[in-house]
């Protein structure tokens, strides 16, 4: 029997199997088309801007960045704020390059 997935917080509870949830999530990411002027394009990386699921993916990604990258910066970060995928940080001036490098290297699409 397939394991059932119970999601909480920003997700409504679902009785979909984990495999089905993963398949539908991948479909949302991989099959994105948009129109610009008279031409249609396929989104090649991640969810399309304006998609209802994009902020959720951005939240997951930014949480992972904050869990893995920010702690490695030590005491060079005075404060760090985030709204969805926009960040504002106050860092020591001589650490700016280090913060940018580690943050930008977190994922190849950043």
Residue of higher predicted confidence among 10 and 88: 88
Q: What pLDDT is stored for residue 8 in this prediction?
A: 46
Q: What pLDDT is stored for residue 38 in this prediction?
A: 92
Number of C-beta neighbours around residue 58 at 10 A? 16
pLDDT at 84 > cutoff 70: yes
Q: What pLDDT is stored for residue 11 in this prediction?
A: 55
Q: What is the pLDDT of residues 11-68, one digit of tens each?
A: 567 788 889 988 988 887 778 788 889 998 887 777 777 777 888 888 888 899 888 9
Q: What is the pLDDT of residues 72-81, one digit of tens each?
A: 887 677 788 8
Residue with tokens 């969810």: 47
**pTM (global) more than 0.75:** no
Q: What pLDDT is stored for residue 4 in this prediction?
A: 52
How far apart, in whole angstroms, are the C-alpha atoms of residue 8 and residue 92?
38
CA distances from 102 to 32, 70, 87, 97 (A): 29, 9, 14, 9
Q: Yes or no: say if 36 and 43 are a contact pair by the CB < 8 Å rule.
A: no
Radius of gyration of the chain (CA): 18
């Amino acid at each position: 029997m397939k394991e059932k997935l119970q999601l909480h917080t920003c997700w409504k509870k679902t009785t979909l199997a984990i495999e089905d949830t993963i398949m539908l999530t991948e479909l949302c990411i991989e099959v994105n088309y948009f129109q610009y002027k008279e031409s249609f394009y396929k989104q090649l990386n991640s969810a399309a801007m304006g998609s209802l699921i994009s902020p959720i993916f951005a939240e997951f990604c930014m949480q992972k960045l904050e869990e893995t990258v920010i702690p490695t910066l030590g005491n060079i970060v005075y404060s760090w704020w985030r709204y969805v995928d926009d960040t504002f940080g106050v860092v020591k001036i001589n650490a700016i390059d280090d913060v940018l490098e580690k943050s930008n290297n977190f994922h190849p699409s950043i």
